[in-house]
Amino acid sequence: MTHKLYQNLGKLFYAMASADDSVNKAEFDKLKVLVKKHWLNLDNLEDDYGSDAAYEIEIVFDWLKSQKYTDNDRCFNDFVAYKNSQPHLFTPKLKKLILKTANAIAAAFSGINKSELIMMAKLDLELKK
């Protein structure tokens, strides 16, 4: 894993949460639960302060939310560009965890809506390439 990977995952998960033009507290809370439950155990990479680098997912997501960032297509495309530049990082296990996390975020508030469903389909297609 790399810091850039975690940062781009933060962008991806923010794009998923903001697909319907709003980010609900339940979506961020779900992300925090999933980071603790699944992402922290993936590797031993730490940030400059000795914290698990997987927390960078939450940090990027929270920063975009605090900035009221609205270009979720750019966030999604940044993730795709990173994925395409570093395909060796995207193992079947990682792809499955990405889809599981994105789906849980989308479903966290009032179920999955049409915008989120479309983005999930796009993500699924990208990860199958």
Residue 122 has pLDDT above 80, yes or no: yes
- Rounded to whole angstroms, the Cα distance separating 110 from 24 reads 10
Give the pLDDT band (50/70/90) at residue 22. confident
pTM here is 0.94
Separation in Å, CA 28 to CA 47, 52, 113: 21, 18, 17
* Predicted pLDDT at 49: 80
- Rounded to whole angstroms, the Cα distance separating 96 from 12 reads 14
CA atoms within 13 A on the CB side of 124: 8
* Predicted pLDDT at 32: 96
* Helices assigned H by DSSP within the chain: 3-17, 25-34, 55-66, 72-85, 92-107, 114-128
